[in-house]
Amino acid sequence: MRRWRAWILAAAAAMTAEPALAQPFDRPAQERPPLPSYEEPVEVRPELLLPELPELPELDPAAAGGPRVLVRRFDIEGSTVFGEEDFDPLVARWIGREISSEDLVAVRYAITRLYLEHGYLNSGAVVPDQDLADGVVVIRVVEGRLSGVEVSGTRFYRASVLRRRVELGASVPLDVTKLEESLQILQQDPRIERVHARLRPGEAPGEAVLELRVEESRRWLLELGADNWSNPAFGGLEGDFHARDENLLGFGDSLASRFRLADGIWRFDAGYDFPISARGTLLHIGGEISDSEIVEKPFSELDIETRYTSVRLGVEHPVYRTLQTQLRLGLVGDWRRARTRICAFEDILGGCDPFAFPGSGANADDGKTTVAALRFTQELVHRDLQQVIAARSMLSVGLPVLGASNHDIPASALGLGGFRNPDGQFVAWLVQLQWARRFEPWGLQAIFRVDAQLASDALPSLERFPVGGHLSVRGYRENQIVRDQG
């Protein structure tokens, strides 16, 4: 009787839509990045201590004495940020007049003040020794630069890594405003708790040295928890162990692993991120394996088992970044394979039988669904003191490589009841939007999420859009509905 019941259930499973027997893997729509934190208030931002600057006195040309020379023009050399249209109004009142040495000092002060007012604190003008007989006065501008960064306080970070990141904001001439913004972006690194900086004069004119002291955050993270986010078909209640090293080799690289266990499933995934440039370009490699069995009655009698494997390799780069806004572009190669078998008739058939859910994209002869996709991602984040907006777009293209599923014949010929069987060649566009707003002083927060997916054709089960569960519509089973688009 049990054997006949198993045969009837197997037939029912073959005629049942895939969501009813949810498959145990995360789809692209479920890999939503965490919502970034709010912008830090001014009082917790890093403070850049600056050297005291000498006041430039206002000189009275009428009180000047000593020898004078008739000036026909000024030649200002060495400036890369200002041009004649900026200098001409400053020196116009001295052209065509006889001026003294005090007047030359006044001209030099006027040019230096222009630099100071625009944040170039260690830039200025000098008057070199010269013959003024022809009435042409040469003024040379010494544009300041950052000659060194002295890093202290590091425990896990390599000092050279932080030095290169800070030097990105050290333009020539040195703009203190940009340098301060670079330090504030550095403090947004979750590995750094606090940044202290002091700028002091260097050994030569126009040089400055930055003294940088950092307080690093905790490097290791170990978490142990439990939740009911797993589909009830695999047991529902799931234990979760998460381990992470945020700075494995001192480059700001991170290694993360996660193991999840429920009654009918175990999953292990790991990933490694390595920064390949001081501008924040990240190289990522990761993968996941899982083994599951449906334990929910009545289909538990079929002993439906699924083995899932994935490997991914990608690169991501911030093309635009300020304190409040960041735009990142990424390219990921993603290979996934799921294999499903029915083992209820193992004593009759001498082994487990490959099983393909109708329309899932699986091969009928081995129960495998394989996808090799190239994914182009765009992620925009804007945050301020009260709200965070995160928008993410991902264009996925399934490629006919690395054993990707390919069905050249109608599904009816495969015995799948006439369903159109998708394969690994597809184009899908996923859009995700998150918005968070906090309400002070009540300590309340509202979070809004919306996901949407468009597909050019029917998608294999690995790529479909899921609805239901803690990351989607709460109150419904995990992945209660999966669709090609929605």
Compute the Cα dihedral for 75, 80, 83, 86 and give only its sign.
Answer: negative
Residue 360 is predicted with a pLDDT of 62
Residue 275 is predicted with a pLDDT of 94
Residue 464: name the closest of 443, 480, 442 by CA.
Answer: 480
Residue 139 is predicted with a pLDDT of 86
Residue 376 is predicted with a pLDDT of 95
C-alpha distances out from residue 167 to 73, 145, 179, Å: 38, 10, 8
In the structure encoding, which two tokens stand for residue 143, read together?
Answer: 């544009």
Residue 425 is predicted with a pLDDT of 82
On the question of a common fold for 61-142 and 144-216, the answer reads yes
Residue 117 is predicted with a pLDDT of 84
In the structure encoding, which two tokens stand for residue 343, read together?
Answer: 């083992």
Following DSSP, what letter does each residue of 91-109 receive, concatenated?
A: HGGGTTSEE-HHHHHHHHH
Residue 206 is predicted with a pLDDT of 82
CATH superfamily of 61-142: membrane protein fhac (3.10.20.310)
Asked if residue 207 lies in contact with residue 123, where contact means CB atoms within 8 angstroms, the answer is no
- The CATH code of the domain at 144-216 is 3.10.20.310
**Mean pLDDT, consecutive 10-residue segments, the chain of 486 residues?**
44 46 62 67 62 55 63 84 86 82 83 86 83 82 88 90 88 86 88 88 85 89 82 76 92 92 86 92 93 72 79 94 90 89 61 64 70 91 85 89 70 47 81 85 80 82 70 59 66
Q: Which CATH architecture best describes the domain 7-38+219-483?
A: Beta Barrel (2.40)
Residue 27: name the closest of 349, 319, 320, 375 by CA.
Answer: 375
3-state DSSP of 369-389: EEEEEEEEEEEEEEECCCEEE
Domain ranges of the chain: 7-38+219-483, 61-142, 144-216
Compute the Cα dihedral for 343, 12, 292, 284 and give only its sign.
Answer: positive
Residue 379 is predicted with a pLDDT of 92
Burial readout 199-237 (b: 16 or more C-beta within 10 A, e: otherwise): beebeeebbbebebebebeebeeeeeeeeeebbbbbbbe
Q: Where are the alpha helices (DSSP H) in 66-149?
A: 84-91, 101-117
Alpha carbon distance 336, 462 (integer Å): 8
Asked if residue 111 lies in contact with residue 139, where contact means CB atoms within 8 angstroms, the answer is yes
Residue 15 is predicted with a pLDDT of 43
Residue 432 is predicted with a pLDDT of 87
DSSP 251: S
User: Residue type at 357?
Assistant: F
- For the entire predicted model, the pTM comes to 0.81
